Amino acid sequence: PTRDLLLASPPGMVEDLCEALGYNVLGEHAPTGDAQEDETRIVPEAMRRAGYRWCRTCQIVRPPRASHCKECDHCVLRFDHHCPFVNNCIGQRNYHFFVGFSTCTVVLALLVLPAILWWSTSGTEGSDATGAPPSGGGLLKD
């Protein structure tokens, strides 16, 4: 969540989040707006060595392997990419759903494409040169 959302949350939620994650997501000090100064002031040296970084956009301390998505405007844990087909970021919490979606799409393509190819190359029996069905040969008889 972004800094504004955390600051507007009910009392005690930030403390619960800090206890669950093991670090203060808002950082040690308030942001100044200077990227270099915020990186060194807000994120302690021990956390920086462990891979924690300051996100200038969300204004939170992001954990290792988290990246900020320009499309969604959020920090995503174990960010892989932003997928335009599902209109969502692919990361830690939805990677297995994306693999399932990709697998289903490939299986569907393997079933549909040969059927379309077979249908388009097979000739229609009993039709004339224009491709129209023979006259009087419908299902309903007069």
| Measured distance CA(91)–CA(98) in Å, rounded | 9
Q: Radius of gyration (Cα) for the chain, nearest Å?
A: 28
| Measured distance CA(96)–CA(103) in Å, rounded | 10
Instruction: Say what the alpha-carbon torsion angle 131, 133, 135, 136 is, to the nearest 10 degrees.
Output: 180
**Nearest one of 106, 140, 1 to 59, comparing CA atoms:** 1
75: annotated active-site residue = no
Residue of 18, 75, 83, 104 marked catalytic? 83
Q: 69 Cβ partners below 8 Å, 6+ apart?
A: 75, 76, 79, 82, 89
Active-site positions read 83
